[in-house]
Amino acid sequence: MTSLYSTKLLATERPLIWLTAKEKPIVLKKIETEQWAKERFLALKKRADDFVPTSVDERVENIKRLPLSWQEKTNKFPAFIVQKNVGNNELRNPLQLSLQAAIDCGVMYALIGEDKYAHCAADILYTVVQGLNSTEIGIQPVHLNNRGWIIPKNHLLESRIYAAQIPLIYDFVYNYLKKGGKVYDAHQNKFTVFDFSAAQHVFTTYAQLALDSGLIDNNWPILESSSLVHNALAIDDEHLRQHYLEHYLTLDTAHQDSLAKVAKNYVKAGDIWPESLGYAMHVGYFSLYLMNLIDRIEPSLQLGNKYPNISSALLTYEQLRFPNGDYPAFGDSHRSHQDNYFEYELAYKSAVLNNNKALIAKFASRLKQLIKTGQYDRSTLLPRHTSAKPYFAPLALLWPETDLGEQKIDTPLNVYNTVHIPFAGLFIQRNLSSDDPVKNSLMATIGGGSYVHGHASGIDMELYGQGHVLGLESGKGGYPTNVHQNYNRLFAGHNTVISNGASASKGGWLQLATNPVEKVVMEPEINANPISDKYSFITTRFYDEYNLVKPAYHQRTTAVIRLSDQLGYYLDIFRARSEVENQYHDYLYRNLGDSLDVATDGQTIKFHSDKNRFQPFDPSMIDKWTHDRNFVHPGWHFLKNVNTSSKTAKTLTATFTAHKFLNSPVMMQSTIVAGLELALSTAIAPKIKSEDPPYNKHEIPMMVLRHEGDAWLNPFVLTFESYQGVEQPAIQSTSRLMHNDVFKGVKVVSKVGISNVTQYILIQENSSQHYENKELGISFIGSFGIITLKNNKLTDLYIGSGTQLSFRDSLLKVESTSSSAYKTY
């Protein structure tokens, strides 16, 4: 491969990592001519000035904030106080924030050249280097080989919050120190020269720790890579520096993956890192950052062109959002993620460095749109932080390109009606409304798969309504906790079906592997234009292979149906069967809110207390489960206040009500369509930590529908419709369409304004099946179709998958090259 250090200039001249001699005049010109850059510069200067000491006493005060053993009376420089696994904030925060302040000062010294900035940065650097050289690195084995220095059992954390920052300070003040600039030794209470050999030991040690610590084939190596690359670039020995940089670029170890290996997960434009979303975002962000860093120094490597799909992943994140900006909470993920628009600056920078015209156009347009709409203010300097990530705030001044070109703005960002994230088995259907889109848009997600930080969920579902994700999965809880291990990550923490009380996982990441959720048929296809702006659907399947009784088969059809710009609903059909005697299947659904009311024929149904209904398949596992290895399947023993109705085949109406939103009350009404005998249980599910306030601190109402026997030929059938305030639901009645005891669809009658809307939604197992209802005048060959009438007059026919659909005298046929069709009347 091309050597990063093919010229002596790059081997000897500093600063190098964030700012080169060639870049400095460009940055100064940017500050002089661009108002946003000037404001960022002044904010950074003020922040640095607030830290800069004006006396020896203040220099000592800055130094003594660092968590070293200052009270020990020895001839040796004080060692760092060793921190616990996640760090003690009283020890962690002063060190983390001091390193960030020293970086700010280092940047100002590099730009302005005033020694006062070098004083504060060099003092911190010297003290940290000396303290580390006095601190022993534990050599005993630690959990997951996560061996650090200051945090002996957590290099993963230490590499980001400490190790990645130290070489940056060195790089910025190197010239000051080389010309004899003095540092203050708070141990000996005197000025002294900097110890370069001690610093080189620190950089080499941290670079080697990155190669020797932690796990591979997950996000860890990428999170540790900023430390690896920064420390490598701070090493003065060219050959040693090259050794570590080549490990970042192409050479894997048993504990560290290279960029070349990481990039294999970005095969196609739009691919994202195969973990739950927070981890996926950080992997892309840190990789894009380091690609920019290296491409600036050695343009011949062209990392941005070699791995362009790492940049393209940013656009996929936008495709996942619910209409209110939240994200699907698949796996160990949060609902909300703070927008990081600096990522778009990095993507654009990478495209410019590599002269990638396609990506230049995409990201210039996106940046312009974000700036124009006020979502992104280039003049705002990000604050220092105590989060578990490196400090990049000054880069938002140093690296952004001034010229965003002549590319026009694509407004709004084009989001697709259907999106697929293959590794998670995640499928998105959205139907956006032009009338108050946050409130009136619809979006449903269906998914489930086996991946790092994934959950054992089967076919999961999330539903959006009235500006909120209402029907939801459990997301990320507290990792060490029992409830996260044995509820959030298991079937019971999801809107899914559990078969025979025994749906479970086996193998894979932490023994949480399941088969992936697979598409059977859908319309529109992924990233394709819909044939109708009113309808979409997807049918998926799941093989419950690791069920603790016997494997079960699941199939789910979920449709999004628009009635008007303001109204619409979801239809959910879930089939389940298992080849065992006395089989039974439970349909689970939880919805953000404070209460759940269930009625039939306008009367509240009666319940009886049923506290023993949802027990573990193996109750002994409650005492025997082991962290990250053995679980208490299926997880529903965490449900509280369980009450169960008598069996019934009547229509049931379940209404979830939320009173804590700003637009409360918000209701989600589910109609459980008559014709399948079941018992309905209500319960209180654990709170979902990853949700938006205020419901991240409140337990969640849920319902569980149990059918004893096969639920395949005659499945669970439910509608879901949200509304708020004094509004009323549009759906007035529902009923099954049956033929020889086989489910063929559902009739839904709705009230839209002054009109009565009747819809026959036809669902069959495959596209070759034929359903005929002479009484209604329906004939259908296909797996999904809709007939819609307004005031008893036909308005449209829709074939989502099939060959032909007729109603009375009207016929719709699918062209031979297609499997779907739509016609209005």
- What DSSP assignment string belongs to 515-526? PPPEEEEEESPT
Give the per-residue pLDDT at 6: 47
Q: What is the pLDDT of residues 724-757, one digit of tens each?
A: 999 999 999 999 999 999 999 999 999 999 999 9
Burial class (CB in 10 A: 0-12, 13-18, 19+), 375: exposed
Burial class (CB in 10 A: 0-12, 13-18, 19+), 50: exposed
- Give φ, ψ of 570 to 5 degrees: -110, 145
Residue type, 533: D
pLDDT at 220 over 70: yes
CATH topology (fold) of 418-728: Beta-galactosidase; Chain A, domain 5 (2.70.98)
pLDDT at 362 over 50: yes
Give the per-residue pLDDT at 142: 86
Q: What is the pLDDT of residues 394-418, one digit of tens each?
A: 999 999 999 998 877 765 567 899 9
Q: What is the pLDDT of residues 541-579, one digit of tens each?
A: 999 999 999 999 999 999 999 999 999 999 999 999 999
Question: pTM value?
Answer: 0.95
pLDDT at 530 over 80: yes
pLDDT at 583 over 90: yes
Burial class (CB in 10 A: 0-12, 13-18, 19+), 415: middle
Residue pair 790/783 in contact by the 8 Å Cβ criterion: no
Residue 337 CA to residue 324 CA, distance in Å, equals 12
Half-sphere exposure (CA, 13 Å, Cβ side) for 156? 19
Q: Checking phi first, is residue 741 left (phi over 0); if not, alpha (psi -120 to 50) or beta? A: left
Q: Once rounded to an integer, what is the mean pLDDT over residues 421-449?
A: 97
* CATH numeric code, 13-195: 1.50.10.100
Q: How far is CA 782 from CA 461, 746, 761, in A?
A: 24, 15, 12
| DSSP-derived pairing of the beta strands 679-685 and 700-708 | antiparallel
Give the per-residue pLDDT at 12: 62
pLDDT at 517 over 70: yes
Residue 570 CA to residue 536 CA, distance in Å, equals 10
Band (7; pLDDT cuts 50, 70, 90)? very low
Q: What is the pLDDT of residues 113-157, one digit of tens each?
A: 999 999 999 999 999 999 999 999 977 778 889 999 999 999 999
pLDDT at 5 over 60: no
Give the per-residue pLDDT at 9: 37
Query: Which contacts qualify for 526-533: CB closer than 8 Å, 24 or more apart?
Result: 526/416, 526/418, 526/419, 526/420, 527/416, 527/418, 527/419, 528/416, 528/417, 528/418, 529/417, 530/417, 530/418, 531/798, 531/820, 531/821, 531/822, 532/796, 532/798, 532/822, 533/431, 533/562
User: For the chain, percent helix, then strand, then coil, each to nearest 5?
Assistant: 30, 25, 40
Residue pair 102/169 in contact by the 8 Å Cβ criterion: yes
Encoding tokens for residue 411?
A: 């407004």
CB atoms inside a 10 Å sphere around CB 484: 20
Residue 258 CA to residue 249 CA, distance in Å, equals 5
Q: What is the pLDDT of residues 623-681, one digit of tens each?
A: 999 988 899 999 999 999 999 999 999 999 999 999 999 999 999 999 999 999 999 99
Q: Once rounded to an integer, what is the mean pLDDT over residues 712-723?
A: 98
Using N-to-C axis directions, what is the helix angle for 309-320 and 342-353, rounded to 10°? 150
pLDDT at 84 over 90: no
CB atoms inside a 10 Å sphere around CB 138: 13
pLDDT averaged over every residue in the chain:
95
Burial class (CB in 10 A: 0-12, 13-18, 19+), 98: buried
Residue 143 CA to residue 629 CA, distance in Å, equals 14
Give the per-residue pLDDT at 98: 98
| DSSP-derived pairing of the beta strands 810-813 and 793-807 | antiparallel
Cβ contacts of 123 within 8 Å, gap of 6 or more? 53, 59, 62, 63, 183, 184
Task: Tell me the residue ranges of DSSP E strands in 516-567.
Answer: 518-523, 535-544, 552-562
Rounded to the nearest angstrom, the gap between the alpha carbon of residue 568 and the centroid of all alpha carbons in its chain is: 27
Burial class (CB in 10 A: 0-12, 13-18, 19+), 696: middle
Give the per-residue pLDDT at 733: 98
Give the per-residue pLDDT at 414: 76
Give the per-residue pLDDT at 73: 84
Name the DSSP letter for residue 648.
B
Band (816; pLDDT cuts 50, 70, 90)? confident
Q: Coil, strand or helix: which one is 483?
A: helix
Domain range annotation of the chain: 13-195, 268-408, 418-728, 730-825
Q: Once rounded to an integer, what is the mean pLDDT over residues 443-468?
A: 97
Q: Once rounded to an integer, what is the mean pLDDT over residues 233-249?
A: 96
Give the per-residue pLDDT at 141: 77
Q: Coil, strand or helix: which one is 238?
A: helix
